[in-house]
Amino acid sequence: MNTIKPIYISAFAFLVLVGCGTSKQVVNTTGLVAITAPLNIAKKAPIKENDLQRWSHLDIITDTIPGMSVDRVYAELLKGKKGVPVIVGILDSGVDIEHEDLKSVLWTNTKEIAGNGIDDDKNGYIDDIHGWNFLGDSTKENLEYERIVKDKTLVDEATYQAAKALNDKKVADAVAGKTRSEQMLEAIVTGDAVLVKHFGKPVYTIEEVTAIVSQEPATQKSKATMQQMLSYGLPIADLKVAVQKQLDEQVALINGDHLKTDYRKVVGDNPNDITDTKYGNNNVMGPDKNEILHGTHVAGIVAQTRNNALGGDGVANNVQILTIRAVPDGDEYDKDIALGIRYAVDNGAKVINGSFGKSFSPHKQWVYDAIKYAEKKDVLFVHAAGNDAKDIDYAENFPNDSEDKVTEFADNVLTIGALNYEYGNKVVARFSNIGKINVDVFAPGVKIYATTPNNTYKYLQGTSMAAPNAAGVAALIRSYYPKLSAKQVKHILMDSGIAISTDVIVGGKATDTRSFTTLSQSGKIVNAYNAFLMAEKMSK
C-alpha cells in the first residue's frame, strides 16, 4: 500500500470526530487528520456553473460548498490504489442502459445467454442480462392510499379510514389548488415570453433576471415573477412541464379518474400474492424512455463515467449498475420492492439504492423480510428520506427499518436527508424530511447534475438524489475496503460525517430554525474523505 502524504489545513479545519459515544481526534495510520466544517462561514460569491455541476464532489473547506469531498478522495487518497468491482442495485423506474455515460458501467449477468429465451441460470428470470423489469409494460400507477380506497380488504379498518381521509383531503385540496395552478402556469408562460424578448434568447439565469434594470411595467412584473419561479431550482421549460402535470393531476382528482383505472392488469400478476413471481420482463428500460428519467439520473449520480469529458462524474469509479425496474409513475408495490431487493442481493449487489417512498404499506412485512435478507447477506440498503418536509419520527414513511419508529429491526438501512449547495443556515433542502431517530445522515440533493435518457444530462433535486450520492460513497468504500461489512460501512458514513452544530432553516420556512444536530441521528453530512480515513483505520 502506498504511503499517503500528510496534508496541511488551516486551524479552523481541525476535526474532532464523535463516534461510539466518545469524543476523540481521529487520525488514521497515515497521519492524516480528517476535516470539519468551518463555523459561521458562508460562500459570498455566486457558485459558478462548472462548480454547480459537480458541487456534491467539492470540499467544504477549499470550496465553502457542503459537498462530500469526493474529488479530494481521488486526488489525495486513491492514487496508486486498486479497488474491486462493486455491484450497485438501482431499484427505481428503470435505467437508460444505452446512455453514452452509463453503458460502460453496466452489470452483465454472465450466467445468462442473451436472447435465447431460456432461463440459463435458473433464477426464475429469463434473459435477465442487465437486471429485471418487475413492471413489465406498465408505466403509470395509483398511489397506495388510492389502491386502499379502491380495495379496503388490503388493510385494517383504521388504515382504510386514514387512506379515505387522505383521499378526501386530496380532492378538496385539488379543488382549491386548481385555480392557483392555472394562474401559476399563466404567469410562467407570460413572464417567460416577456423575458425571452428582453434578453433576445430562450434561456436565461436567475442572476441575469435579478440584474434587470427597467422602468417598463411589464418587464418589472415579469422580473419579479420569474425570480420567484427560478428560485424553485428548475429550468423554466421543466417548471412548465411540472406545473402542467400538477394541474392535470388536480383535474383527475376532482373528476375521480384516479380511482377508475386498474393499471396493474397490464403486468398480469397478482400484486397481493408474494408467491406469484413469474411476471415482468428483461427490458430494464421499460416501454418508454421518457418514463425512466428518475432511475437514469439516480444511476448516473452513483456511476456515470468519471473524467471522460461527458456530462458529470459519478461518485464511484469501480461499480457495476444492476437495474431493477420496480418504481412506476405513482406508488411502488410492496411486492415489487421486496422481490427487487432479493433479486439484487441474489445477483451480487453489495449496495442497493432506493430513491422512493410512500405513506402506506399494506404488505410492509414482505419488504421488512427482504431488508432482513439483505442484512443477512451483507448488503447495504440506502434509502431516500422523502420530500414532504416532514418529521418522519412521527409521519409514516415506507420502507423503513423500524416498525415502531424507535427500534431498528436491521442495521443495514441508511436513510438520507437532502442538502442544499448553500453552506449556511439554508444548508438543508427546503423539501427534505427530517428525523432525529429515523434519518441517519444528510447528503447533497439540490440541483444535482447527472445522466438523463437519450444521452442527455439535467439538474434534478430531491432526497432521491441525496441517497445515490451517499450510496456512491458507500460503494467506493466497499470497493477499496471490501472486508468491511455493510453494517460497518453504514456507521462509517454516519460517524465520519462532518458535524454542523449551527441553527438551520427547516422546511424552507425562515421562521422555523433548529439546530442541525436535531434533524438526524448523526447530526452530520456525508463526507467521503473522512469516511475513507475512518475505513482505513477500521480495516486495520
63, 71, 92, 440: which one is catalytic? 92
Name the packing angle between helices 157-199 and 217-230 (round to 10°): 140
Residues 392/438, Cβ–Cβ less than 8 Å: yes
Residues 484/539, Cβ–Cβ less than 8 Å: yes
Residues 51/65, Cβ–Cβ less than 8 Å: yes
Amino acid at 345: V
Q: Tell me which DSSP letter residue 152 carries.
A: G
Kindly state the cell numbers that stand for 411: 442495521
CB atoms within 10 A of CB 513: 13
Active site residue 92: yes
Task: Give the separation between CA 193 and CA 202, rounded to whole angstroms.
Answer: 9
Nearest CA to 353 out of 53, 93, 535, 127 is that of: 93
69, 464, 496, 522: which one is catalytic? 464
Q: Tell me which DSSP letter residue 43 carries.
A: -
Q: Tell me which DSSP letter residue 391 carries.
A: B
Kindly state the cell numbers that stand for 295: 432511475
Active site residue 294: yes
Q: How many residues can be counted in the chain?
A: 540
Task: Give the separation between CA 264 and CA 142, rounded to whole angstroms.
Answer: 9
Residues 485/350, Cβ–Cβ less than 8 Å: no
Beta strands in 13-163 (DSSP E): 17-19, 22-24, 86-92, 131-133
130, 294, 297, 363: which one is catalytic? 294
Task: Give the separation between CA 531 and CA 533, rounded to whole angstroms.
Answer: 5
Q: What is the spatial order of strands in the sheet that 319-325 belongs to?
A: 131-133, 319-325, 86-92, 349-354, 380-384, 413-419, 441-444, 524-525, 498-499
Buried b (16+ CB within 10 A) or exposed e, 113-141: eeeeeeeebeeebbbbbbbbbbbbebbeb
Active site residues: 92, 294, 464
